[in-house]
DNA sequence: CCATCCATGTAATTCGTTACATGATTAT
DNA sequence: ATAATCATGTAACGAATTACATGGATGG
């Protein structure tokens, strides 16, 4: 569902055609999420149907058909409501980044609390990994096979650690004062 | 398609029932990939149909129906072929981890080259991010909105850096000598 | 004039998720 | 007894991927 919210944020920043969104999918969101043009056209059509967007048919002098999508108040409200609703699964990082982006354009909406709780969950997962590391891969020489298995676990540890590092940097930016 | 390969690796390590695979999905693969039991049963059935797996009907004394899946030579070959075929998209990290796991059980299969090329691609992407950082977010005080936008970019930078750090640690483990 | 880019879409297939359903075994 | 766990599946739906298709505008 949150591809729609990603598109709403992009369109709030700048009304665009589907094609433009497909190419950049916003310079920021594209850093961690790419969507195909079919996905984007589908979701734009759905949001237009729901009354979240207005499609301005703008052949601007020329005859090339292009629709510039603008966010309507209903879309804006839907986005704000979504940002305010915490998602607390470990897989909600993508959504969180979109929420940050939304806070950048819409002002403080309470993402701080969600981030705080996500940090706790990632810490817990890191601890689980660390325990497996201690139990299975420390204190004795490892075979080639074991070193490779360890490398897979390491990828999880490194991912969690760097995410936590990032999240703790971001937290003070969200402080509402 | 590579959920099948993930299952093949798990089953090579230990023949199991679908239920068992669904719960652990291998202690290692589950760190970065979770699959539902429906997905797993579906893929197991498909692979059995293709002749990659043999389903040993083993009610082991009791009457509870359970199928223990074993990898057949055709499945093993298919896995080896997949591991040997480089995927060079930036989104192929999941697959790469499964390939590492496969190398752990099957011996050197040339994943080193694939990793080397992936490192180059991630380095290139990191450079792109670094350039945006320099151009848009350095050398002047930032507004709250800009700091949040920067945080989103930072998440990409941190992710790439930590991945590269991990990958460079893994590379020597794959050296075939 | 021809290639590339801009721009939008339909259709088919596959994949992932959720709900529903069944039944045996084990632990309390 | 009965609740939890083991174990396997079907069905429906929605999402994502890929292929196919069209046509105007722009640049060389």
B-chain CB neighbours of A31 within 8 Å are 129, 152-153, 155-156
Separation CA B42–CA B19 (nearest Å): 12
Separation CA A73–CA A67 (nearest Å): 19
pLDDT score of A62: 60
Q: In which band, very low, low, confident or very high, does the pLDDT at B28 lie, cut at 50, 70 and 90?
A: confident
pLDDT score of A32: 87
Q: Above 70 in pLDDT, residue B61?
A: no
Q: In which band, very low, low, confident or very high, does the pLDDT at B24 lie, cut at 50, 70 and 90?
A: confident
In this complex, do A28 and B165 lie within 8 Å of one another by their Cβ atoms?
Answer: no
Choose one of A72, A106, A140: the last residue of a domain.
A106
Residues A62 and A47 in one domain: yes
Query: What b/e sequence results for A77-98 when a residue is b if at least 16 CB atoms lie within 10 Å of its CB, and e otherwise?
Result: ebbeebbeebbeeeebbebbbb
The distance of B33 to chain A (nearest Cα, Å) reads 11
A18 touches strand C (CB under 7 A): yes
Choose one of B56, B79, B106: the last residue of a domain.
B106
Per DSSP, the three-state class of B8 is helix
Residues B22 and B36 in one domain: yes
Using left for φ > 0, alpha for ψ between -120 and 50, and beta otherwise, residue A110 falls in: left
Q: Note whether B18 and A143 are within 8 A (CB).
A: no
- How many contacts, defined by CB atoms under 8 Å, are there between A and B? 99
Q: Does B140 touch chain A (CB under 8 A)?
A: no
pLDDT tens digit sequence for B121-168: 999 999 999 999 999 999 999 999 999 999 999 999 999 999 999 999
Q: Above 80 in pLDDT, residue A100?
A: yes
What is the distance in angstroms between the CA of the first residue and the CA of the last residue of chain A? 31
Query: B92 lies in which domain range?
Result: 2-106
Half-sphere exposure of A167 (CA within 13 A, CB side): 23
Domain total in chain B: 2
A36 touches strand D (CB under 7 A): yes
Residues B23 and B68 in one domain: yes
B156, closest residue in chain A (CA to CA): A31
Residues A157 and A76 in one domain: no
pLDDT tens digit sequence for A35-75: 999 999 999 999 999 999 999 987 666 667 899 999 999 99
pLDDT score of B157: 96
A66 touches strand C (CB under 7 A): yes
Residues B101 and B116 in one domain: no
Residues B7 and B81 in one domain: yes
**Among partner residues A151, A156, A170, which is closest to B100 by beta-carbon distance?**
A151
Residues A123 and A95 in one domain: no
Residues A58 and A99 in one domain: yes
Choose one of B82, B106, B130: the last residue of a domain.
B106
Q: Note whether B35 and B25 are within 8 A (CB).
A: yes
Residues A13 and A99 in one domain: yes
Q: Give residues with Cβ within 8 angstroms of A44, minimum separation 6.
A: A7, A18, A21, A53, A55, A69
Q: Note whether B55 and B67 are within 8 A (CB).
A: yes
Task: Give chain A's mean pLDDT.
Answer: 92
Model's pTM, two decimal places? Answer: 0.91
Pick the range with the lowest mean pLDDT from A20-24, A58-62, B104-108, B150-154: A58-62
């Amino acid at each position: 569902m949150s591809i729609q919210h990603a598109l709403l944020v992009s369109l709030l920043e700048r009304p665009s055609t589907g094609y433009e969104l497909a190419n950049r999918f916003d310079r920021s969101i594209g850093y961690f999420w790419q969507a195909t043009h079919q996905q984007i056209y589908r979701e734009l059509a759905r949001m237009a149907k729901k009354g979240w967007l207005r499609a301005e048919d703008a052949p601007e002098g020329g005859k090339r058909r292009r629709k510039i999508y603008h966010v309507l108040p209903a879309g804006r409200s839907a986005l704000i409501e979504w940002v305010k609703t915490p998602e607390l699964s470990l897989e909600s990082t993508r959504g969180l980044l979109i929420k940050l982006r939304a806070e950048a354009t819409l002002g403080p909406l309470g993402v701080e609390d969600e981030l705080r709780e996500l940090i706790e969950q990632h810490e817990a997962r890191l601890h689980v990994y660390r325990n497996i590391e201690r139990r299975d891969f420390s204190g004795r020489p490892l075979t080639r096979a074991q070193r490779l298995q360890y490398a897979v676990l390491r990828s999880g540890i490194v991912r969690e650690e760097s995410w936590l590092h990032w999240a703790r940097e971001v937290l003070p930016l969200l402080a509402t004062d």
